[in-house]
Structure formats: C-alpha cells, structure tokens
C-alpha cells in the first residue's frame, strides 16, 4: 500500500483523475470499478473534461460498487441516476457497458449473484476506485462485513445514513436502510485499487484503517492485504497519520510517481 498526500481536495482528486486516465490510455479496454459519494464528484467532472480533450471510454466498461435498495430506478438519489448525471452522460462508454447493482430487483439475492457473474464475464475489475465512509466502509460494507464477503444486501449504520443525509434533503430517515453492495472479497479481487479521501471528517478513520490492525470492524482495513492499493488523501484527511513523512518520501522518490510530481502537485 502507498499513501499519497496532496495539499487539498482539488489536488487529490486531480491526481486520482490523472491516474485513471493514464490507465485507460494504457489499456483502452479497462474494466473500471466506480464509486459514488461527494469525494468522487470532482473526479468525474475532471474525467468528463478529459473526455472532451480526447480520453476515450468506448472500449471500457464499468461496475459500480453499490446501490440503495428500494429507490425507484429513476429516483435522482439512486446511484444509477447519480452516475448518469455525473459521468455516464458526459463520456462515451458503449451502450450497456456501465453496470450498477439492481437495488430495485424483486429478487435481491439473485441480482447479487448476477452482478458477480457479470464482473467475472467482463474479465474482472482492472482498476477499482473507492471512497471511504466515516464508519470505515468501502462500498456499503459496514462494520463486521466478512473480509471474504461477496455482493449482497447490507443494512446501513445510522452513522452512514446521517453522513449521506445531505444528499436526501438533510433528513437521515429519508436515506434507505439497506443497500446492495459488492463484498469486501469482491473488491479485493480488483487488479489495482485507488482510494480517495478528503476533508477532516475522514482523518480518524483513515489512520485507523491503514495504520491500525486489520479488522472486520473497519472494512477498509482489508485493503492492507491488497498488493496494489494506493490511497490518495488531502492534508485534512491525512492529519492523523503517524508515518506521514515516509509517505511523502515515497511519493518524491518512487520512480512510478515521477510523472505526477509536476508543479501542480506540490505539498
Ligand atoms: C457512500 C458510498 C461509499 C463512499 C461513501 C463516502 O456511502 N456507498 O462508497 O465511499 O459514500 O462518501 P463521501 O465521499 O460523500 O464522503
């Protein structure tokens, strides 16, 4: 794992968008794992800009992490609608190549199995983008999610419903209670993982997830097992990290980061 700290959210999300665009250029048929949440909004905005400047999604496909259960498919708060609005309507994925779990299915367990099968049929996820919830969730894998869990329905914590309430008019009771989410085990099978965290509300959970012990109580800590996982944080989210100076040393010395160490990315 590597943790890269950038000065602010703008630089952190710009770096994430640049890494994603590099991977798409290196492998035009890349299978992307996509995430929702406010942290992702600027990343998708930048990917849409990059598409206008030639970044081609026509060979790519995508699988989103999760979807609320019970929202109507055209509900603007569904993750399908959110992804259309933020990214899919602005780039050129081929029709049918963007996938979001079906939270409206009558048979949720079957929808979960079908989602896993679709990921396998696409050849697995090449690059998985992640945010992190204040409970340490990745996707909607709330505390005590099995580290080997697969796509399934999950009950959200009150804290997550509060965290996501601003997107539902500020009312936590309006946030669905359950979601269909890729499992921790599903996520760990991605070839490469990029987790982005910004803002002071993420500082404590970031330190616990990546510098603390591996535990099912913090799903994101399972990423410590992944051989190719990068965390990009802004200063505010990195504020509680103990080994910060080493992470900066890696960013400034590791050859792989050289192309990203331009003047736009000074700490
Ligand atoms: C939701 C998503 C998570 C995401 C989290 C963070 O709960 N299911 O995948 O990581 O939001 O949200 P934000 O970026 O708004 O802090």
- Asked if residue 195 lies in contact with residue 130, where contact means CB atoms within 8 angstroms, the answer is yes
- What pLDDT was estimated at residue 266? 41
For ligand 1, residues with CB inside 6 Å are 35-39, 65-66, 131-133, 139-140, 160, 164
Nearest protein Cα to ligand 1, atom 12: 37
Q: Give the Å distance between the CA of 133 and the centre of ligand 1.
A: 5
Q: Give the Å distance between the CA of 95 and the centre of ligand 1.
A: 26
Mean residue pLDDT of the chain comes to 96
Provide Rg for the chain, Cα atoms: 17
C-alpha to C-alpha distance for 32 and 204, rounded to whole angstroms: 28
Nearest protein Cα to ligand 1, atom 10: 131
- What pLDDT was estimated at residue 264? 52
Hey, which of 164, 199, 236 would you mutate to test ligand 1's pocket, going by the most ligand atoms within 8 Å of its Cβ?
Answer: 164
Express each pLDDT in 81-135 by its tens digit.
Answer: 999 999 999 999 999 999 999 999 999 999 999 999 999 999 999 999 999 999 9
C-alpha dihedral over 238, 11, 193, 151, to 10 degrees? Answer: 90
C-alpha dihedral over 210, 214, 219, 225, to 10 degrees? Answer: 80
**Regions of the chain with pLDDT less than 50:** 263, 265-267
C-alpha to C-alpha distance for 17 and 247, rounded to whole angstroms: 20
Q: Give the Å distance between the CA of 255 and the centre of ligand 1.
A: 31
- Asked if residue 202 lies in contact with residue 237, where contact means CB atoms within 8 angstroms, the answer is yes
Hey, which of 9, 13, 37, 223 would you mutate to test ligand 1's pocket, going by the most ligand atoms within 8 Å of its Cβ?
Answer: 37
Structure tokens of 17?
């968008």
- What pLDDT was estimated at residue 265? 47
- What pLDDT was estimated at residue 73? 72
pTM for the structure as a whole: 0.96
Nearest protein Cα to ligand 1, atom 13: 37
Place of tokens 């269909």: 180
Residues 6+ apart with CB under 8 A from 250: 2, 4, 257
Nearest protein Cα to ligand 1, atom 9: 139
């Amino acid at each position: 794992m590597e943790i890269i700290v950038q000065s602010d959210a703008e630089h952190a999300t710009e770096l994430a968008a640049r890494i994603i665009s590099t991977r798409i250029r290196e492998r035009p048929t890349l299978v992307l794992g996509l995430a929702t949440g406010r942290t992702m909004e600027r990343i998708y905005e930048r990917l849409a800009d990059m598409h206008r400047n030639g970044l081609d999604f026509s060979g790519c496909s995508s699988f989103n992490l999760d979807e609320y259960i019970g929202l109507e498919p055209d509900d603007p708060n569904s993750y399908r609608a959110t992804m259309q609005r933020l990214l899919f309507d602005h780039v050129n994925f081929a029709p049918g190549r963007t996938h979001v779990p079906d939270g409206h299915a009558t048979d949720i367990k079957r929808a979960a199995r079908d989602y896993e099968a679709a990921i396998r049929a696409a050849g697995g996820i090449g690059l998985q983008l992640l945010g992190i919830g204040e409970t340490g969730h990745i996707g909607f894998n709330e505390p005590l999610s099995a580290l080997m869990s697969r796509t399934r329905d999950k009950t959200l914590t009150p804290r997550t419903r509060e965290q996501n309430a601003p997107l539902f008019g500020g009312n936590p009771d309006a946030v669905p209670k359950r979601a269909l989410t890729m499992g921790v085990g599903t996520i760990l099978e991605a070839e490469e993982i990029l987790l982005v965290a910004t803002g002071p509300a993420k500082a404590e959970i970031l330190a616990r997830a990546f510098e603390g012990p591996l535990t099912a109580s913090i799903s994101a800590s399972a990423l410590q097992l992944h051989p190719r996982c990068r965390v990009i944080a802004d200063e505010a989210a990195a504020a509680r990290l103990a080994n910060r100076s080493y992470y900066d040393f890696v960013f400034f010395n590791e050859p792989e980061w050289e192309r990203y160490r331009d003047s736009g990315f000074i700490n």
